[in-house]
């Protein structure tokens, strides 16, 4: 017994650790407490096919909720929503790329997920078209509001909304019956009609922005020509130009979404309406004072008042 004790005392602690480590590598055991070894080790449970499908369904339910709660009519919403939709599609596609058992219930769930993928893919295309138009119309607005001496294009002819309009039509055609996109009692897509209505609202907002930009340019040109003719006492020319200004200052830009803005250095549609109203007031003042019977003092007073009104309109533009 004494020999055994002396033998054990002679063994270096590191030797013991190395022996334990070797045994763990060879047998998969774990050292517990006072050096006891237990063979075998718990392994992380692999997700079942049902678990993987539930994960995919949950991902689509989450993005559906995001879309239901988002203000899709806002032109600024498209850039972030298209990224979220794309991420959800990629995540679900990755899950469905695995093999699944040939089970009727599983096949039904996969079918619903694939139908939802088709819907979201079409929606993503529409959001991408909306974002592209948002960039084009927004860039044009900044150029229009800061133009000096005119610009080389007409917004109404340059800015094309047809691609976005077609994408909305495609999304309408991709609409599914609720039963086709429901799995395990959960709906995998947002309110499809509400999404369509919001995208149509966004399209109309872009159309109104384009009309506003065109009216801004056309009225600026005719007002400038009218004021110059007025100051040079060419009252017939002044009246003709100012009458043209009145005509182009009546763009159809009323409707919902008047508070939306393409950028913080642009105007809302409500602000465009206010700007055009001020320009109309200035034009009316000049027209009322352009008759031959009006005295020179009244004409000069009208010019000063009209110019102040035009400056007030200009001050609506962020600097």
Q: Are residues 107 and 29 part of one domain?
A: no
Task: Quote the number of domains for the chain.
Answer: 3
Main-chain dihedrals φ then ψ at residue 30, nearest 5 degrees: -130, 135
Residue after which a domain boundary falls, among 176, 206, 236:
206
In a domain, 44, yes or no: no
Please give the DSSP secondary-structure letter assigned to residue 185. Answer: T
Token pair of 45 as six digits:
């449970």
In which domain, by residue range, is 33 found?
2-38
Q: Kindly report, residue by residue over 164-178, the tens digit of the pLDDT.
A: 999 999 999 999 999
Instruction: Assess whether 13 and 142 both reside in one domain.
Output: no
239 pLDDT exceeds 50?
yes
pLDDT at 50: 94
Q: What pLDDT shows up at residue 231?
A: 87
- Decide if 198 contacts 71 (C-beta within 8 A): yes
169 and 287 share a domain? Answer: no
Are residues 59 and 199 located together in one domain of the fold? yes
How high is the mean pLDDT of the chain?
A: 86
Are 178 and 252 in a shared domain?
no
Same domain, residue pair 54 and 186: yes
Do 155 and 16 share a domain, yes or no? Answer: no
More confident residue, 3 or 243: 243
The pTM score is 0.81
| Last residue in a domain, options 179, 206, 233 | 206
Residue 272 lies in a domain: yes
Which segments within 114-220 are labelled E, that is strand? 182-183, 186-187
Asked if 134 and 225 sit in the same domain, the reply is no
Is residue 288 domain-resident? yes
Closest CA relative to residue 263, chosen from 271, 273, 254, 275: 271
Instruction: Give yes or no: residues 67 and 124 share one domain.
Output: yes
d(CA 96, CA 27): 37
The predicted-structure confidence for 186-226, as pLDDT tens digits, reads as follows 999 999 999 999 999 999 999 999 999 999 999 999 999 99
Helical packing angle, 104-145 and 78-96, nearest 10°: 160
- Is residue 303 domain-resident? yes
Same domain (yes/no): 118, 145? yes
Which of 165, 187, 206 delimits the end of a domain?
A: 206
Q: Within a domain: residue 319? A: no
Q: Which of 6-10, 134-138, 157-161, 271-275 has the lowest mean pLDDT?
A: 6-10
Hey, is 184 helix, strand or coil? Answer: coil
Same domain for 192 and 56: yes
Q: Is the pLDDT of residue 19 over 70?
A: no
Q: What is the pLDDT of residue 112?
A: 97
Rounded distance between C-alpha atoms, residue 82 and residue 171, angstroms: 14
The answer to whether position 78 is within a domain reads yes
Give the pLDDT confidence of 81-130 residue by residue, as tens digits. Answer: 999 999 999 999 999 999 999 999 999 999 999 999 999 999 999 999 99
Torsion of CA 228, 230, 231, 232, to 10 degrees: 90
Q: Note whether 303 and 271 are within 8 A (CB).
A: no
H or E element at residue 183: strand 182-183
Same domain, 171 and 79: yes
Residue 44: predicted pLDDT: 67
DSSP state of 137: H
Asked if residue 273 belongs to a domain, the reply is yes
Residue 43 lies in a domain: no
Average pLDDT over residues 131-141: 96
């Amino acid at each position: 017994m004494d020999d055994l004790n002396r033998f054990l005392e002679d063994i270096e602690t590191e030797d013991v650790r190395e022996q334990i480590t070797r045994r763990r590598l060879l047998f998969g055991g774990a050292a517990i407490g006072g050096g006891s070894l237990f063979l075998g080790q718990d392994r992380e449970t692999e997700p079942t096919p049902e678990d993987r499908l539930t994960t995919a369904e949950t991902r689509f339910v989450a993005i559906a909720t995001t879309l239901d709660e988002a203000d899709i009519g806002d032109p600024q919403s498209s850039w972030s929503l298209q990224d979220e939709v794309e991420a959800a599609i990629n995540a679900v596609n990755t899950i469905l790329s695995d093999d699944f058992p040939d089970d009727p219930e599983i096949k039904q769930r996969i079918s619903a997920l694939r139908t939802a993928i088709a819907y979201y893919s079409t929606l993503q295309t529409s959001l991408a078209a909306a974002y592209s138009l948002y960039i084009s119309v927004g860039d044009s607005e900044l150029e229009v509001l800061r133009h000096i001496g005119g610009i080389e294009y007409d917004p109404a002819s340059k800015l094309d909304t047809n691609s976005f309009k077609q994408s909305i039509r495609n999304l309408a055609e991709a609409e599914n019956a609720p039963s086709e996109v429901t799995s395990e009692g959960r709906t995998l897509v947002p309110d499809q009609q509400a999404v369509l209505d919001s995208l149509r609202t966004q399209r109309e907002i872009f159309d109104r922005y384009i009309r506003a930009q065109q009216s801004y340019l056309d009225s600026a040109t005719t007002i400038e020509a009218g004021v110059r003719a007025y100051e040079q006492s060419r009252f017939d020319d002044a009246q003709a130009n100012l009458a043209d200004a009145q005509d182009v200052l009546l763009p159809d830009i009323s409707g919902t979404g008047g508070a939306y803005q393409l950028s913080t250095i642009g105007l809302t549609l409500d602000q465009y309406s206010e700007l055009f109203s001020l320009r109309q007031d200035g034009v009316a003042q000049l027209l009322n004072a352009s008759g031959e019977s009006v005295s020179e003092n009244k004409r000069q007073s009208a010019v000063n008042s009209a110019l102040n009104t035009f400056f007030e309109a200009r001050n609506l533009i962020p600097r």
